[in-house]
Amino acid sequence: MRFASLSDRLAGLGAAKWEVHFEGQKRSRAGQPVIMLSIGEPDLPPPARVLDRVVQSMYAGRTRYASPQGEPGAREAVARHLAERSGMAVSPEQVLYCAGTQNGLYTSLMTVVESGDEVIVPDPYYATYEGLVAASGATFVPVQTSPEAGFHLTPEALEAAITPRTRVLLLNTPSNPTGAVLSEAEVDAIGAVCERHDLWILSDEVYADLTFSGRFCSPFDRPQLRERTLAVSSISKSHLLPGFRAGWVAAPETAMPRLLSVAEAILFGSQPFLEDALAEALTGHHPEVEAFRASLRGRAEAVVSAFEGCRHTNVRMPEGGMFLMVDVRATGLNGEQFAWRLLDEANVVVMPGESFGLGAAAGHVRVALTVEKEQLREACVRIRQLIEKLAG
């Protein structure tokens, strides 16, 4: 039997990157005392008001088909949320509801690129990006950042990577896996390059509400960049609801008919009760959200503190998000090898840096800030001991 070439392009770009994580889960289920720091799944309870709204909506009959672009209440809530953030007007007609950030990114890429095009992605990058670009038929073009520069993309590096085939810059700020957050000046400088070369900016903003210092800046919030930006986000991280798969794409109104056509081919509508939950999540303030943001910063500071004085690694405070990178190059192992050794010898599960690209992430491991401080400190003691053992 024959298969589409799409399945060949995606081979090895999916679950294979999470092999250490899956093995850790397997050992944990078997009763091993494993500390799981490998996945960005919030560990604190979500906002009670949002859960109450879901239940109320289901009992109220909000279980039927939804509008393909999204229910009016959900799109209005997203538009209001983005307008308050940017100080610029946003219309509900500029919002497409989608089943989480991954679905939004896929819909966006399938709308703006095809075979023969190139998509530029700062390296390190989230593990699914290669598969997303491969699915579209476009070519994935990583652009190196450096640990010494905080893993920030520079306009010079972007400019050097652009060819006549380049169509999109796929940007992620705050970054998974590095925690890098681009400033307004950096977004403007990078955006100026995109303007000169007439590129789309596909902005993954799922961690936008989880910055530790400074103000988050989206290219969608910059007047000169809005008409070329597709901004994708969800309530998976910010509101501790990854299983809801509730998100959006914000785009120029002129792009929406094309995005909607692609979205209808993938997922014709959603669950109205989940769209009601999204609207509730983006309305007002939730103490659970504030507590989670504060806990992430405190956990990140605890990790950085745990490695102070260690001569064999450098651990920088992330600027946002749910992760930080630990440099293990002094051990002589790459991130993949170190992650397996750490699991086998210390019962701690982290993600190999190589799951996020073979450039600046290589020789690092990603630590998720998804357990309580005391358990996180214990995990860091074990990571540090293995680094010192191997490097010494």
**Domain with 292 in it: what CATH number?**
3.90.1150.10
Q: What is the pLDDT of residue 174?
A: 97
Cβ–Cβ under 8 Å, residues 151 and 98: no
Last residue of a domain, one of 230, 251, 281: 281
Residue 78 in this model has a pLDDT that exceeds 80 = yes
Number of domains present in the structure of the chain: 2
Pair (20, 131) in one structural domain: no
Pair (17, 40) in one structural domain: yes
Q: Is 54 domain-assigned?
A: no
List residues bridging with 123 in a β-sheet.
Answer: 144
Of the two residues 392 and 132, the one the predictor is more confident about is 132
AA identity, residue 287: P
Last residue of a domain, one of 281, 313, 345: 281
Pair (18, 121) in one structural domain: no
Pair (267, 298) in one structural domain: no
CA dihedral 49, 50, 51, 54 (to 10 degrees): 120
Q: What is the pLDDT of residue 21?
A: 97
Q: What is the pLDDT of residue 154?
A: 98
Sequence-separated (6 or more) residues with CB below 8 Å from residue 229:
200, 201, 202, 203, 218, 219, 220, 251, 252
Pair (132, 74) in one structural domain: yes
Structure token digits, residue 6: 């799409």
- Residue 388, SS3 per DSSP: helix
Q: Is 223 domain-assigned?
A: yes
Cβ–Cβ under 8 Å, residues 178 and 325: yes
From residue 255, alpha-carbon distances to 99, 111, 302 in Å are 19, 9, 44
Q: Which domain holds residue 387?
A: 5-45+287-391
**Domain with 240 in it: what CATH number?**
3.40.640.10
Q: What is the pLDDT of residue 186?
A: 98
Looking at 18-146, which runs of residues are DSSP E strands?
35-36, 95-98, 118-123, 139-144
pTM of the model: 0.96
Q: Is 174 domain-assigned?
A: yes
Q: Is 52 domain-assigned?
A: no
Pair (240, 385) in one structural domain: no
Pair (313, 243) in one structural domain: no
Distance CA(107)–CA(260), nearest Å, equals: 9
Last residue of a domain, one of 248, 281, 314: 281
Q: Is 311 domain-assigned?
A: yes
Q: Is 58 domain-assigned?
A: no
Distance CA(205)–CA(282), nearest Å, equals: 15
**Average pLDDT over the chain, rounded to an integer:** 96
Pair (105, 204) in one structural domain: yes
Q: Is 117 domain-assigned?
A: yes
pLDDT digits (tens, 9 = 90+) for 238-279: 999 999 999 999 999 999 999 999 999 999 989 999 999 999
Helix 256-266 / helix 100-112 crossing angle, nearest 10 deg = 120
Pair (94, 215) in one structural domain: yes
Pair (141, 94) in one structural domain: yes
Q: Is 57 domain-assigned?
A: no
Pair (214, 72) in one structural domain: yes
Q: What is the pLDDT of residue 16?
A: 81
Q: What is the pLDDT of residue 14?
A: 76
Reply yes or no: is the peptide bond before residue 174 cis, omega within 30 of 0.
yes
Pair (163, 212) in one structural domain: yes
Average pLDDT value for residue range 20-36: 97
Q: What is the pLDDT of residue 8?
A: 87
Residue 286: phi, psi to the nearest 5?
Answer: -120, 125
Distance CA(101)–CA(267), nearest Å, equals: 14
Of all residues in the chain, the percent with pLDDT exceeding 70 is: 100
